[in-house]
């Protein structure tokens, strides 16, 4: 399941991030690449673990915690500390697959990457190219969202970032381990949660059908989720 989540960051928070990171230290993006990705990747990243990267990452994590659509779709158990990248001058990231296990250097933190996320920080009309292209059995899905919007997609998918031929594309990216490992179950829970929210807004949370569906949702979570 691919999911677009709008306005994870407000325009004010996007500006705050740019003020923080634009003039910080940017390094070769292969700082965090696996063996296969290293041959396909040409971009720059905010130095991982730097004070600026940590502060910027905290802004993103706080915003995620206030984005109910993100929580409903991802059901996050672990979130890799957000990273930040920039593409310009023809830079691109060819077809690749994200590592199945992500480790944080210098710590005992590790997680299974169930989902990948890209949070766009540049307006789409400020650069040419730079689309995130995610492949599945139905073909290719091209994603280029307004600043502050996020796309959530399977970490198991083959994906790429098209060359940026003018302007600059800045984004935050990270991986998640979900409480519900199975993607089909995770999608069904998301659909059920969304239905409960729609019905609750229409009929009220004490409506018998809303209560029954809410009960079903939580019992399925008990059966399927790790915590």
Instruction: Please write the tens of the pLDDT for every residue from 68-127.
Output: 999 999 999 999 999 999 999 999 999 999 999 999 988 999 999 999 999 999 999 999
Check whether residue 214 and residue 165 sit in a common domain. Answer: no
Q: Residue 211 is part of which domain span? A: 183-224
Query: Which of 85, 90, 97, 86 has the alpha carbon at shortest distance from 160?
Result: 97
Check whether residue 167 and residue 219 sit in a common domain. Answer: no
Cα 205 from chain centroid?
30
Check whether residue 155 and residue 98 sit in a common domain. Answer: yes
Check whether residue 191 and residue 166 sit in a common domain. Answer: no
Of the listed ranges 27-31, 71-75, 124-128, 185-189, the one predicted with least confidence? 27-31
Check whether residue 156 and residue 201 sit in a common domain. Answer: no
In DSSP terms, 84 is beta-bridged to: 172
Check whether residue 148 and residue 58 sit in a common domain. Answer: yes
Q: Provide the domain count of the chain.
A: 2
Cα 75 from chain centroid?
12
Check whether residue 169 and residue 190 sit in a common domain. Answer: no
Residue 153 per-residue DSSP state: E
Check whether residue 220 and residue 108 sit in a common domain. Answer: no
CATH number at residue 124: 2.60.120.620
Tell if the pTM clears 0.75, that is, is over it: yes
């Amino acid at each position: 399941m691919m999911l677009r989540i709008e306005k994870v960051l407000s325009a004010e928070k996007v500006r705050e991030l740019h003020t923080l990171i634009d003039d910080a230290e940017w390094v070769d993006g292969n700082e965090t690449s696996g063996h296969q990705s290293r041959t396909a990747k040409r971009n720059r990243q905010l130095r991982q673990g730097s004070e600026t990267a940590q502060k910027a990452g905290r802004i993103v994590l706080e915003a995620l915690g206030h984005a109910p659509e993100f929580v409903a779709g991802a059901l996050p158990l672990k979130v890799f500390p957000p990273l930040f990248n920039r593409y310009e001058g023809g830079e691109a990231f060819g077809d690749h697959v994200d590592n199945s296990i992500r480790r944080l250097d210098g710590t005992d933190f590790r997680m299974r990457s169930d989902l990948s996320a890209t949070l766009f920080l540049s307006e789409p009309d400020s650069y040419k190219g730079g689309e995130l292209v995610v492949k599945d059995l139905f073909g290719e899905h091209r994603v280029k969202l307004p600043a502050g919007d996020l796309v959530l997609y399977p970490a198991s998918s083959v994906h790429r970032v098209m060359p940026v031929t003018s302007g600059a594309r800045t984004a935050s990216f990270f991986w998640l381990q979900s409480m519900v490992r199975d993607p089909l179950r995770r999608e069904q829970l998301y659909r059920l949660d969304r239905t409960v929210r729609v019905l609750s807004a229409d009929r009220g949370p004490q409506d018998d059908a809303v209560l029954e569906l809410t009960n079903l949702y939580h019992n399925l979570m008990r059966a399927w989720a790790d915590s």
